[in-house]
Copies of this chain bind each other. A is one copy, B any other.
């Protein structure tokens, strides 16, 4: 370390450095989300759970995770995290857990992780705070057999690789991965941004998963599956021509093994047939038999310009697997016990021209919706990306921006902040545009913001009807109350005046009241209520019949509405 004072600028030879990604993030761990004791531990849970879910689902396995967190000392914990996924082959274990920017997540496939940073970030934090190695047990399939391996290793941050300390093979009968890490300067908490709440939200977004968690006090929580759905395998989807830039195309051309522009285009892009390539050749005059390595910027730009002018089928969306509005509803009902819930999964659309995404949303009202702050119930926003809860940095997020831009007063919520409301939004895409390496907020791409607005406004309209009809019912009840209070008085007074005994009127009154009230007193109120109820029923029926519900601004893929009174 040079002690000299810089008097005339940097001493280039001494001061100029190239850092490895590990070194960089060692100096900037807050960029991986590791800021604050509670938050840091939550991020560790987030990264490990995320990784286990992705691994299991890519192999068609229903994810099941076991986590135990032991407190060794104040702010010193041992975390054991194991899953039932396919395991990691021996040669890749240290790459997965020690090399930053390394991973299998860089394909165009819907996955929770995207960066090859998460797991190695956890190992880095463990090593930085305790100096302890990571201990991994991996059971994986190789040549038709299951192999077991136990490895103990540290991370060499100067080289961005793992350093093996111990290794042991063993017999195994089922696949899975298990990691044990120690942490200091972190804190387990039941707070909104704590690890426990993170698991709870994970289950809302992933009702097909099972998580068993033993907390530091020894209490064991079992989050059961809400449904035994066989998970759909996510598919790798080729990029859509409309979502590709000249730079992307040039990059593909420089690093392909294809022999011609034609085979490059048809093999690298979706919706690109030989016929379309011929069209491009006609349109641009560029010979599609040329070798990709010869491609220059101008050609790439001309071809991409042609893409923009041509019509293509929308991007394939079978690679996108939403939670589904019914599942979201189940999850929200199970956890929030609301008096009203409505959910929606919208049709796939695209951002940046050709990257497909789906927005799902839910609104829950009443019951345990919202969160309790200082004994007051406030509204809460639950943000998800590819089913992963986003817990931090909500300020800059597309989801927050969209929800804040809605005029909630128009939907009968005069004071959203202080209402018992939970807003749920999940964004599904093969490429979530995260704003930072901490993956906690989504870039406010205009199309994403617009979709979130649309989805939520559709639901807000339903909530408004619910609130209105609840109000009407309340008014009606109040008027009945007056009727019921006064009729007996009139009867009794009448009896006195007529000097007869008071007749047994209660049963009759109850019957009459029921029938007569609507006609006699509730005329105006009754009409309003009926109108609202009828509309709601029609909508539900239409929906059940599979008809598309036509509403202003509506573009629903699937919509569900439930009221509990």
B268, A102: Cβ atoms closer than 8 Å: no
Q: How far is the CB of A219 from chain B (nearest CB, A)?
A: 30
A95 within 8 A of B: yes
B434 touches A16 (CB 8 A): no
Known: A8-B59, A256-B1. A104 touches B17 (CB 8 A): yes
* Nearest CB of B to A211, in Å: 20
Give the residues in chain B near A298, CB-CB below 8 Å: 131
Given contacts A6-B58, A434-B30, contact A24 B101 (CB under 8 A): yes
Q: Mark A97-128, 1 if CB is under 8 A from B, else 0.
A: 00101111011010000011000000000011
Binds B, one of A381-389, A392-400, A422-430, A526-534: A392-400
Task: Name A103's contact: one of B16, B157, B267, B395 (CB within 8 Å).
Answer: B16
Judged by a CB distance under 8 angstroms, whether A409 is at the interface is no
List B contacts of A9 (CB < 8 A). Answer: 55, 58-59, 85-86
Kindly list chain B residues whose C-beta atoms are within 8 Å of the C-beta of A19. Answer: 101-102, 106, 116
A522 sits at the interface (CB 8 A): no
Contacting residue for A16 out of B58, B102, B246, CB 8 A: B102
Contact A16 B437 (CB under 8 A): no
What residues of chain B lie closer than 8 Å to A437, measured between beta carbons?
Answer: 28, 31, 436-437
Choice from B236, B256, B433 contacting A35 with Cβ under 8 Å: B433
Q: Does B435 contact A15, Cβ atoms closer than 8 Å?
A: no
In the bound complex, residues from chain B placing their C-beta under 8 Å from that of A85 are: 9
Q: Are A393 and B435 in contact (CB under 8 A)?
A: yes
- Given known contacts A6-B235, A28-B434, A394-B395, A21 and B101 CB-to-CB distance under 8 angstroms: yes
B129 engages A433 (CB within 8 Å): no
Contacts of A324 in B (CB 8 A): none
A131 → B minimal CB distance (Å) = 3
Shortest distance between the CB of A542 and any CB in chain B (Å): 36
Q: Is A231 among interface residues, defined by CB-CB distance under 8 A?
A: no
The distance in angstroms between the C-alpha atoms of A106 and B19, with both chains bound, is 9
**A255 touches which one: B158, B297, B443 (CB < 8 A)?**
B158
Q: B435 contacts A20, CB within 8 Å?
A: no
Residue of B with least CB distance to A11: B104
- Say yes or no: B16 contacts A247, CB within 8 Å: no
* Shortest distance between the CB of A302 and any CB in chain B (Å): 11
A300 — which chain B residues lie within 8 A by C-beta?
131
Are B104 and A12 touching (Cβ within 8 A)?
Answer: yes
Give the complex CA separation of A396 and B35 in angstroms: 12
B6, B393, B435, B443: the one within 8 Å of A233 (CB)? B6
- Known interface pairs A5-B233, A116-B19, A443-B35; A247-B129 also in contact (CB < 8 Å): yes
Looking at the assembled complex, report how far the CB atom of A271 sits from the nearest CB atom of chain B, in whole angstroms. Answer: 14
Whether a CB of chain B sits under 8 angstroms from the CB of A7 is yes
Q: Judge whether A250 is part of the interface by a CB distance below 8 angstroms.
A: yes
**A/B interface sample: 6 pairs, CB < 8 A:** A3-B238, A6-B58, A8-B58, A24-B115, A30-B434, A394-B395
- Listed in ascending order, the chain A residues whose CB lies under 8 Å from chain B are 1-10, 12, 15-21, 23-24, 26-28, 30-31, 35, 55, 58-60, 85-86, 89, 91-92, 95, 99, 101-104, 106-107, 109, 115-116, 127-132, 157-158, 233-236, 238, 245-247, 250-252, 255-256, 267-268, 296-298, 300-301, 392-396, 400, 433-438, 443-445
Could you list 16 further interchain pairs (A-B, Cβ under 8 angstroms) beyond the known A1-B252, A131-B246, A436-B438?
A3-B267, A4-B236, A6-B235, A7-B233, A9-B86, A18-B101, A19-B106, A21-B24, A24-B101, A31-B434, A35-B445, A129-B247, A130-B297, A131-B298, A132-B297, A394-B395
In the complex, the 9 A-B pairs of residues with the closest C-beta atoms, listed nearest first: A395-B395, A131-B297, A436-B436, A10-B104, A9-B59, A128-B247, A15-B104, A19-B101, A18-B102
